[in-house]
Structure 1
Amino acid sequence: MARTDHHTPPPGRLRRLLSAAAGAIALAASLLTVAAQPAAAATLTQVTSFGSNPGNLAMYEYAPDNLPTGRPLVVALHGCTQSAAGYHSHSGWARFADQWGFAVVYPQTDSSNNSASCFRWWDTAQDTRGHGEALSVKQMVDKAVSQYGSDTTRIYVTGLSAGGGQAANLLADYPDVFAGGAIDSGLPAQCATSSSGTNACQYNTSGLGLTPRQWGDKVRDSDPGYNGPWPRVAIWQGTADYTVSPVNGDELRDQWTDVWGIGQTASGTKSLTGGTTESYYDAPDGTPAVELYSISGMGHGLAVDPGSGSTQCGSTGAYYLGYICSTYYTATFWGLDGSGGGGGGGGTSPLPAPTNLTVTGTTDTSAALSWSAVSGAASYDLYRDGTKVGSTTSTGYTDTGLTSGTSYTYKVAAVDSAGAEGTLSPAVTATTTGYVAQCYTANNYQQVVDGRAHTSGGYTYANGSDQNMGLYNTYVTHTLKETSAGYYVIADSGC
Structure 2
Amino acid sequence: MRPSILRRLFRCVVTTAVLGVLPALPATAAPALAAAADTLHQVTGFGSNPGNLQMFAYTPAHVPAGSPLVVALHGCTQSANAYHTNSGWPKFADAWGFDVVYPQTTSANNALSCFSWFDAAKSTRGRGEAASVVQMVEYAQRTYGSDGRRVYVTGLSAGGGMTANLLAAYPDVFAGGSVAAGLPAQCATSQAAASGCQTGPQKLTPAQWGDKVRASYPGYAGPWPRVAIWQGTSDYTVYPANATALRDQWTDVWGVGQTPDGTSTLPGNTTRTVYHDASGKPAVETYSLAGMGHGLPVNPGTGAAQCGSTAAYFLNTVCSAYHTGVFWGLDRGAPGGGGLPAPSGLRVTGVTSDSASLSWSPVAGAASYVVHRDGTKTASTAGASFTDTGLAAGVSYRYTVAAVDTSGAVGATTAAVTATTTGGATVRCHTASNYAHVTAGRARTSGGYVYAIGSGQNMGLYNTFVTHTLKESPAGYFVIADSGCQAGSSEKSP
- Do both proteins adopt the same fold according to a TM-score greater than 0.5, normalized to the shorter chain? yes
1:24 equivalent among 26, 29, 50? 29
Residues of 1 paired with 2:110 and 2:185: CA distance?
Answer: 20
Q: Does 1:270 align with 2:264?
A: yes
Secondary structure at 1:254's aligned position in 2?
helix
- Mark the CA change 1:29 to 1:50 in structure 2 (over 3 Å): closer, same or farther: closer
Secondary structure at 1:126's aligned position in 2?
helix
Q: Does 1:168 align with 2:173?
A: no
Q: Does 1:100 align with 2:104?
A: no
Q: 1:340-351 to 2 correspondence within 5 Å?
A: 350-351=348-349
Residues of 2 paired with 1:144 and 1:208: CA distance?
Answer: 37
Q: 1:116-131 to 2 correspondence within 5 Å?
A: 116-131=112-127
Once the 2 structures are TM-superposed, how far is the Cα of residue 318 of structure 1 from its aligned partner?
A: 0.6
| Matched letter for residue 316 of structure 2 | G
Deviations 1:42-69 (A, max 9, x none): 6101011011101000000011014211
Once the 2 structures are TM-superposed, how far is the Cα of residue 382 of structure 1 from its aligned partner?
A: 5.7
Residues of 2 paired with 1:331 and 1:450: CA distance?
Answer: 32
Q: Does 1:422 align with 2:426?
A: no
Once the 2 structures are TM-superposed, how far is the Cα of residue 208 of structure 1 from its aligned partner?
A: 1.5
Deviations 1:140-174 (A, max 9, x none): 00001111111110000000000000000000010
2:295 aligned residue: 301
Once the 2 structures are TM-superposed, how far is the Cα of residue 352 of structure 1 from its aligned partner?
A: 3.7
| Matched letter for residue 317 of structure 2 | Y
- Mark the CA change 1:159 to 1:380 in structure 2 (over 3 Å): closer, same or farther: closer
Once the 2 structures are TM-superposed, how far is the Cα of residue 98 of structure 1 from its aligned partner?
A: 0.7
Q: Is the 2:21–2:112 contact (alpha carbons within 8 Å) kept by the matching residues of 1? A: no
1:59 aligned residue: 55
Deviations 1:261-314 (A, max 9, x none): 000011000100000000000111111000000001100000100010100000
Secondary structure at 2:63's aligned position in 1?
coil
Q: Is the 2:392–2:421 contact (alpha carbons within 8 Å) kept by the matching residues of 1? A: no
2:150 equivalent among 142, 151, 154? 154
Q: Is the 1:123–1:193 contact (alpha carbons within 8 Å) kept by the matching residues of 2? A: yes
Q: Does 1:218 align with 2:216?
A: no
- Mark the CA change 1:280 to 1:87 in structure 2 (over 3 Å): closer, same or farther: same
2:187 aligned residue: 191
Deviations 1:431-467 (A, max 9, x none): xxxxxxxxxxxxxxxxxx989xxxxxxxxxxxxxxxx
Once the 2 structures are TM-superposed, how far is the Cα of residue 199 of structure 1 from its aligned partner?
A: 1.4
Secondary structure at 1:227's aligned position in 2?
coil
Residues of 2 paired with 1:421 and 1:101: CA distance?
Answer: 24
Secondary structure at 2:294's aligned position in 1?
coil
2:321 aligned residue: 327
Q: TM-score, normalised by structure 1?
A: 0.66
1:179 aligned residue: 175
Give the total of aligned pairs: 352
Once the 2 structures are TM-superposed, how far is the Cα of residue 387 of structure 1 from its aligned partner?
A: 9.4
Once the 2 structures are TM-superposed, how far is the Cα of residue 30 of structure 1 from its aligned partner?
A: 6.9
Residues of 2 paired with 1:285 and 1:230: CA distance?
Answer: 14
2:283 aligned residue: 289
Once the 2 structures are TM-superposed, how far is the Cα of residue 31 of structure 1 from its aligned partner?
A: 5.1
- Mark the CA change 1:18 to 1:292 in structure 2 (over 3 Å): closer, same or farther: closer
Residues of 1 paired with 2:231 and 2:302: CA distance?
Answer: 24
- Mark the CA change 1:19 to 1:247 in structure 2 (over 3 Å): closer, same or farther: closer
Unaligned runs of 5+ in 1: 1-13, 34-41, 341-347, 355-375, 389-419, 428-448, 452-483, 487-495
1:238 equivalent among 227, 232, 241? 232
Residues of 1 paired with 2:333 and 2:254: CA distance?
Answer: 22
| Matched letter for residue 70 of structure 2 | V
Residues of 2 paired with 1:143 and 1:209: CA distance?
Answer: 39
Once the 2 structures are TM-superposed, how far is the Cα of residue 197 of structure 1 from its aligned partner?
A: 1.1
Unaligned runs of 5+ in 2: 1-19, 335-345, 353-386, 398-416, 425-456, 460-482, 486-494
| Matched letter for residue 336 of structure 1 | L
1:228 aligned residue: 222
| Matched letter for residue 117 of structure 1 | S
Deviations 1:3-53 (A, max 9, x none): xxxxxxxxxxx97759944x232x3547536xxxxxxxx610101101110
Q: Is the 2:21–2:77 contact (alpha carbons within 8 Å) kept by the matching residues of 1? A: no
Residues of 1 paired with 2:81 and 2:389: CA distance?
Answer: 49
| Matched letter for residue 24 of structure 1 | A
Residues of 1 paired with 2:349 and 2:396: CA distance?
Answer: 20
- Mark the CA change 1:84 to 1:351 in structure 2 (over 3 Å): closer, same or farther: same
Secondary structure at 1:330's aligned position in 2?
helix
Q: Does 1:249 align with 2:253?
A: no
Q: Is the 1:179–1:231 contact (alpha carbons within 8 Å) kept by the matching residues of 2? A: yes
2:43 aligned residue: 47
Once the 2 structures are TM-superposed, how far is the Cα of residue 422 of structure 1 from its aligned partner?
A: 3.0
- Mark the CA change 1:99 to 1:286 in structure 2 (over 3 Å): closer, same or farther: same
- Mark the CA change 1:377 to 1:274 in structure 2 (over 3 Å): closer, same or farther: closer
RMSD: 3.2
2:133 aligned residue: 137
Deviations 1:332-371 (A, max 9, x none): 110001079xxxxxxx9723478xxxxxxxxxxxxxxxxx
Greater radius of gyration (CA): 1
Q: Is the 1:77–1:167 contact (alpha carbons within 8 Å) kept by the matching residues of 2? A: yes
Secondary structure at 2:123's aligned position in 1?
coil
Residues of 2 paired with 1:250 and 1:19: CA distance?
Answer: 24
Secondary structure at 1:253's aligned position in 2?
helix
| Matched letter for residue 328 of structure 2 | W
Residues of 1 paired with 2:389 and 2:396: CA distance?
Answer: 20
Q: TM-score, normalised by structure 2?
A: 0.66
1:38 aligned residue: none
- Mark the CA change 1:15 to 1:82 in structure 2 (over 3 Å): closer, same or farther: closer
Once the 2 structures are TM-superposed, how far is the Cα of residue 177 of structure 1 from its aligned partner?
A: 0.5
- Mark the CA change 1:311 to 1:121 in structure 2 (over 3 Å): closer, same or farther: same
Q: Is the 2:22–2:76 contact (alpha carbons within 8 Å) kept by the matching residues of 1? A: no
Secondary structure at 1:24's aligned position in 2?
coil
- Mark the CA change 1:129 to 1:291 in structure 2 (over 3 Å): closer, same or farther: same
| Matched letter for residue 229 of structure 2 | I
1:468 aligned residue: none
Q: Does 1:312 align with 2:316?
A: no
| Matched letter for residue 349 of structure 2 | L
Q: Does 1:70 align with 2:70?
A: no
Percent identity of the aligned residues?
A: 57
| Matched letter for residue 331 of structure 1 | G
Residues of 2 paired with 1:187 and 1:149: CA distance?
Answer: 31
Residues of 2 paired with 1:168 and 1:426: CA distance?
Answer: 35
